[in-house]
Structure 1
């Protein structure tokens, strides 16, 4: 808008200078109607030019605004983000949320060093590694490689029991740019939408040196339909409790189970 105002001022100034320069030696006499009429027509022509310039400028600015709106809308429409839901075979049946793939929660062994620290959602239809992948295994030396294990619940709640195998799914959420997991909450902040809520899990502190990440398992968790439901251990999902001290109590409570929620915006 400021650019347009300066353009209009410049046009008026140029017109005034032009008008004065051409008529420096002329005087409009009230008893000379022809001269007076010609001067009025000249002013009208100049005003028509200014009006035409103003109209074209406004039209160009409106077109630019509409173009910027379209670009913004397209960018927003193409936005999206992903997250993994733990304990469910599929993603929540929400508008704008699609299941990219369903899988099996997998990670390092609960009481063995090494392997990866993070947990993965392994697909049900794995592809083999390249046949020419270089290896240095000698005499089936298992110490020369890492291993990934399936996962089991270490608690019984609603639909699942101890030693049930843990499913997972990778979810694609349209029209959002951010997804966060908030521990110790079951609701999302203002302007955020809930994807799912549940219980916070991790490795047991009595299971050796292995450390596993904190993951939010859906409150209505399921078990793998093709799982064994037997005790094979592997990556174990333990519920998390509060330990008072540096963690203030209140508002927390000693041994309180910690909730969690996954939110999007």
Structure 2
């Protein structure tokens, strides 16, 4: 005989209710057992303690790894330094700081010897150690090098010929580079300052020096008399010469710009 569908549904509902009550009774019984069994309670507490200790150990391990990674990042990003020529302080760009300001210096322009690079000498030199050699003769230039202060050899904006050239040593958080013939930086890099490319001159008897990026708004030293011609280390602007240097895009006799960038 076929059982009516409503009867089947009623039987299923009764079954589910009874099973639910049975599960509730079972859970209630388990609770009573847990509350009345000290050993079981202590076992559960000990298990929880082990889990907490495991989590604490894992946290310590992860924190150690994080600290190690942070130290590696700091070591890889110790920063870089550059010298801004023609200025007494560094630009306020992305945390750039002035380490010290100084005096642009190098070899005398007709001297084939001494150093070839330009230095930023501090205003407060320390005394020479007492055990430095004293055997050289001042009238014999072959036994020692020499260094001179620097002068501009052109007039531009705030400066005039024979003004003395200041400088400052700057530190940035990451890398720094000078890009000649540009007034903008590569993608992802920040402009520190824009300038004019300078070097020694092509005059006969003059000796070459390094190419330096002079700030586009240069300043002059105020320690001595302004525009006093001592002719030590000299700053000249740099122009393009066509040939191996393609023209265009370069132009003959055109002065070259420059930019110092950081990332």
**Which category describes the TM-score, using the shorter chain as reference length?**
0.7 to 0.9
- 1:91-106 matches, within 5 Å, as 91-106=90-105
Counterpart of 2:240?
242
The structural deviation recorded for 1:243 is: 0.4
Q: CA RMSD in A?
A: 2.7
The structural deviation recorded for 1:136 is: 2.2
Counterpart of 1:137?
136
Q: TM-score under structure 2 normalisation?
A: 0.73
Aligned residue pairs total 214
**Is 1:227 the equivalent of 2:224?**
yes
Counterpart of 1:120?
119
- Unaligned segments of structure 2, at least 5 residues: 1-46
| Alpha-carbon separation, structure 2, partners of 1:199 and 1:127 | 32
CA distance 1:138–1:191, shift in 2 (3 Å) = closer
The structural deviation recorded for 1:140 is: 3.8
CA distance 1:63–1:207, shift in 2 (3 Å) = farther
Counterpart of 1:189?
186
- 1:102-161 per-residue CA deviation (whole Å, 9 max, x = no partner) reads 100000011111010000000111112112312322474344221100001111111111
CA distance 1:139–1:87, shift in 2 (3 Å) = closer
The structural deviation recorded for 1:92 is: 1.0
- 1:209-228 matches, within 5 Å, as 209-228=206-225
CA contact (8 A) 2:120 2:169 kept: yes
Larger Rg: 2
**Is 1:81 the equivalent of 2:80?**
yes
Runs of 4+ in 1 over 6 A off after TM superposition: none
| Alpha-carbon separation, structure 1, partners of 2:87 and 2:178 | 16
Counterpart of 2:44?
none
Counterpart of 1:43?
none
| Alpha-carbon separation, structure 2, partners of 1:230 and 1:125 | 22
| Alpha-carbon separation, structure 1, partners of 2:61 and 2:246 | 55
- 1:213-253 per-residue CA deviation (whole Å, 9 max, x = no partner) reads 00000001100011322111111000000001100011011
CA distance 1:242–1:105, shift in 2 (3 Å) = same
- Unaligned segments of structure 1, at least 5 residues: 1-48
| Alpha-carbon separation, structure 1, partners of 2:197 and 2:144 | 30
The structural deviation recorded for 1:64 is: 5.1
- 1:35-54 per-residue CA deviation (whole Å, 9 max, x = no partner) reads xxxxxxxxxxxxxx9xx99x
Q: TM-score under structure 1 normalisation?
A: 0.72
- 1:166-197 per-residue CA deviation (whole Å, 9 max, x = no partner) reads 00011112x31x11110000111111111111
CA distance 1:133–1:155, shift in 2 (3 Å) = same
| Alpha-carbon separation, structure 2, partners of 1:189 and 1:139 | 49
